[in-house]
């Protein structure tokens, strides 16, 4: 695979071109990941509504039917339901880790097995989220593909 | 309302499990003089009592991790056995209690050990994958 990176002041926005003869699952995943970086989602605070970039999001959480977006320190309300976010975002960068959480894999720091047999994911901002056993396989698959292992 | 729905769901699940266990126990002649007409109501009382016990434990000790299962297991077992003794389905003998307790405890311990061992393996594997992904990103 050839990778060309050009940096110049004449470019006003980032442009990515992918050239290929035939696609495979890994290339599609890479394309989805690039797309995900460009995604924005509407987040609401008490006062106003702002657009949050996907790569600024640490995780999504659903509490009693309400969806929240968690950044490094800030929290926003979101009008979308978790399943809608899953359909839109879980294609490379985000992965579901429990019934109520969707996590940005890029924000992961480490994992720890707890004594109750559950797994805990530690994020780079120090927060910890519980990974349900049911979703461990999806998480492995996602990391495996992001790490380029076959 | 949601709480009531949760309670009802838990009672139904517990009732079904108890009914299955009691069905097997009766067929194997472990329990004696079970009046089938009364059994359904008694099993429902058992299911309700065990669910309430777990709810009370949840409200008193919500954040404990390791001891949670053991407390629930002992509490529910005592409730079930106690009702069995009151109904005259089982005799109150020490050997009987110790045997059931040992069986349940061994099953619980094995399940816990297996789950813990599996999660340790997952932890190792996931951390390795994460490390690999990070090093690839740096490259």
pLDDT tens track for B13-65: 888 888 887 777 777 776 666 666 778 888 888 888 888 888 888 888 766 66
Amino acid B43: pLDDT: 85
* Chain B residues within 8 A of A110 when measuring between CB atoms: 127, 130
C-alpha distances (whole Å) from A8 to each of A5, A14, A19, A37, A145 are 10, 10, 21, 21, 31
Nearest CA-CA distance, residue B81 and chain A, Å: 26
Amino acid A150: pLDDT: 41
> Cα dihedral sign for B70, B71, B76, B77?
positive
- Residue A96 backbone phi and psi in degrees, to 5: -80, 130
* Chain B residues within 8 A of A112 when measuring between CB atoms: 123
How many other CB atoms sit within 10 Å of the CB of residue B8? 12
> 31-70 in B: which are within 8 Å (CB) of A?
65-66, 68-69
Length of chain B: 139
pLDDT range class, residue B2, cuts 50, 70, 90: low
The better pLDDT of the pair B10, B126 is held by B126
pLDDT range class, residue B11, cuts 50, 70, 90: confident
Nearest to A144 among B65, B120, B129 (CB): B129
pLDDT range class, residue B94, cuts 50, 70, 90: low
pLDDT range class, residue B66, cuts 50, 70, 90: low
Amino acid A17: pLDDT: 87
CA distance between the termini of chain A:
16
**Do residues B57 and B75 make contact, with C-beta atoms less than 8 angstroms apart?**
yes
Amino acid A69: pLDDT: 93
* Chain A residues within 8 A of B119 when measuring between CB atoms: 113-114, 117-119, 133
User: d(Cα B39, Cα B32) in Å, to the nearest integer?
Assistant: 12
Chain A interface, best mutation among B5, B61, B124, B129, by max A CB count within 10 A: B129
Predicted ipTM of the assembly: 0.73
Mean pLDDT across chain B: 79
Q: CA torsion, points A98, A142, A87, A78, in degrees to nearest 10?
A: 60
Amino acid B41: pLDDT: 84
Burial of A57 (0-12, 13-18, 19+ CB in 10 A): buried
Q: Which residues of chain A have pLDDT under 70?
A: 36-37, 147-150
**Do residues B101 and B93 make contact, with C-beta atoms less than 8 angstroms apart?**
no
Lowest mean pLDDT among B4-8, B73-77, B100-104: B100-104
C-alpha distances (whole Å) from B118 to each of A117, A137, A143 are 8, 12, 18
Record: contact A117-B119, CB cut-off 8 A: yes
Amino acid B19: pLDDT: 82
* Chain B residues within 8 A of A133 when measuring between CB atoms: 115, 118-119
pLDDT range class, residue B122, cuts 50, 70, 90: very high
C-alpha distances (whole Å) from A66 to each of A10, A40, A132, B42 are 44, 19, 20, 40
Chain A, nearest residue to B69 by Cα: A116
Q: What is the pTM of this model?
A: 0.63
Record: contact B126-A114, CB cut-off 8 A: no
> What tokens appear for B31 in the block?
């329990």
Indicate the SS3 state at residue B69: helix
Record: contact A116-B136, CB cut-off 8 A: no
Amino acid B126: pLDDT: 92
**Do residues A149 and B132 make contact, with C-beta atoms less than 8 angstroms apart?**
yes
Chain B, nearest residue to A148 by Cα: B133
User: d(Cα A26, Cα B44) in Å, to the nearest integer?
Assistant: 53
* CA-wise closest residue to B55 among A45, B47, A3: B47
Amino acid A126: pLDDT: 92
Chain A, nearest residue to B137 by Cα: A147
Nearest to B126 among A111, A114, A115 (CB): A111
Nearest to B116 among A105, A115, A144 (CB): A115
Phi-psi region of B88 (alpha: psi -120 to 50; beta: other; left: phi over 0): left
Is 80 exceeded by the pLDDT of residue B70?
no
């Amino acid at each position: 695979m050839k990778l060309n990176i050009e940096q110049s002041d004449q470019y006003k926005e980032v442009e990515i071109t992918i050239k290929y003869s035939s696609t495979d699952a890994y290339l599609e995943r890479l394309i989805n990941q690039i797309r995900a970086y460009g995604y924005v989602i509407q987040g609401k605070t008490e006062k106003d509504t702002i657009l949050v970039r996907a790569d600024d999001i640490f995780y999504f959480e659903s509490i009693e039917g309400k969806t929240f977006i968690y950044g490094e320190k800030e929290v926003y309300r979101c009008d979308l339901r978790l399943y809608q976010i899953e359909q839109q975002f879980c294609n490379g960068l985000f992965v579901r880790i429990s019934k109520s959480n969707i996590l940005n894999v890029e924000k992961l720091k480490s994992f720890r097995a707890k004594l109750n047999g559950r797994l805990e994911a530690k994020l780079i901002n120090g927060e910890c989220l519980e990974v349900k056993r049911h979703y461990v396989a999806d998480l492995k698959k996602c990391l495996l593909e992001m790490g380029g292992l076959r | 309302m949601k709480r009531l729905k949760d309670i009802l769901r838990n009672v139904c699940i517990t009732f079904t499990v108890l009914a299955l266990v009691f069905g097997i126990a009766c067929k194997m002649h472990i329990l004696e003089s079970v009046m089938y007409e009364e059994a359904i109501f008694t099993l429902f009382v058992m299911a309700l009592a065990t669910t309430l016990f777990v709810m009370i434990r949840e409200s008193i000790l919500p954040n404990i991790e390791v001891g949670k299962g053991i407390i629930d297991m002992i509490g529910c077992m005592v409730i079930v056995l106690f009702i069995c003794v009151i109904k005259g389905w089982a005799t109150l003998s020490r050997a009987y209690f110790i045997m059931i307790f040992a069986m349940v405890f061994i099953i619980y311990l094995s399940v816990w050990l297996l789950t813990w061992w599996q999660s340790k393996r997952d932890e190792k594997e996931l951390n390795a994958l994460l490390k690999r992904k990070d090093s690839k990103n740096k490259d």
